[in-house]
Amino acid sequence: MTVRLDVLPAADWATFVANELAARLRAEPALRLCLPTGDTPAPVYAALPGALAAARSGLGSATVVLLDEWLGLPAGDPARCDTRLRHELLDRVGRPSDLHLIRVDELQPEAAAAAHDVAVAEGLDLALLGLGTNGHVGFNEPGSTADSPTRVVELDHSTLNAAVGRYGATRRPAGGVTVGLARLLEAVEIWLLVTGHRKATVLARALEAPETPDCPASFLRRHPALRVLADEPAAAGLSAVLTRSGRIRGARDGI
Ligand code: PGA
């Protein structure tokens, strides 16, 4: 089992990922995509209209499933994942054929998680994921295991601080709803998007340290088609063998 690693100069990273996604949508227009929000994918989404135009493809026949959502933030809050997905992606490229946001305004948290899991359970062709500095993917915070379901979660301090500090939330979130690691591992393909020097340590932990619930992203190495798309600053902590080869062996093969 191998992980495919692409390391790009920081200036080229977003365009590269956008072009890869546009090519994927061209080859498979009815792709079922799980999409993250946050600072990592934002430049990819900004580059996507141009990439889709160049590839003569679009989101119009695709299904988009949102990866996670905050609890306790009002609709329209700038930090809300659905707000960011709309502003940063859908307002630019148009709506997909099917859009599954997480219905935290209409439903109680557990019911919203259960309803979202119904959409996820129909299957994902491609899950794009960011990586938290604490090792989370989605809101699968430290302590999550490979069999974690789609669920309501308590959030780590670093995650709550990001909401208020970096994302401009109008109040402190009460928690989150996330697609579970178990469902993410069921996706046909996973692309882990990682940028910036502040992610270098956690990316090395995720890919090269032993698998552990302390770093939930480490479980992604179990996936048969994990692709890591990193910029050079984020890849700075990876071993020379790994970055030189561009491919690393998965945990089960004993790195
Ligand atoms: P970021 O967040 O893309 O805003 O750095 C990633 C994450 O916490 O999953």
Please tell me if the CB atom of residue 38 comes closer than 6 angstroms to any atom of ligand 1: yes
Boundaries of domain holding 11: 7-228+238-253
Instruction: Let me know how long the chain is.
Output: 255
Q: Is 243 contained in some domain?
A: yes
Q: Name which residue sits closest to atom 7 of ligand 1, judged by CA.
A: 132
Q: Is 233 contained in some domain?
A: no
Please tell me if the CB atom of residue 253 comes closer than 6 angstroms to any atom of ligand 1: no
Percent with pLDDT over 90 in the chain: 92
Q: Is the pLDDT of residue 4 over 80?
A: yes
pLDDT digits (tens, 9 = 90+) for 140-175: 999 999 999 999 999 999 999 999 999 999 999 999
Looking from the CA of residue 131, the nearest atom of ligand 1 is 9
Q: Is 147 contained in some domain?
A: yes
Q: Is 2 contained in some domain?
A: no
User: pTM for the whole thing?
Assistant: 0.95
Number of domains in the chain: 1
Q: Is 1 contained in some domain?
A: no
Per-residue pLDDT band for 247 (boundaries 50, 70, 90) equals low
pLDDT digits (tens, 9 = 90+) for 86-109: 999 999 999 999 999 999 999 999
Q: Domain containing 149 — which CATH number?
A: 3.40.50.1360
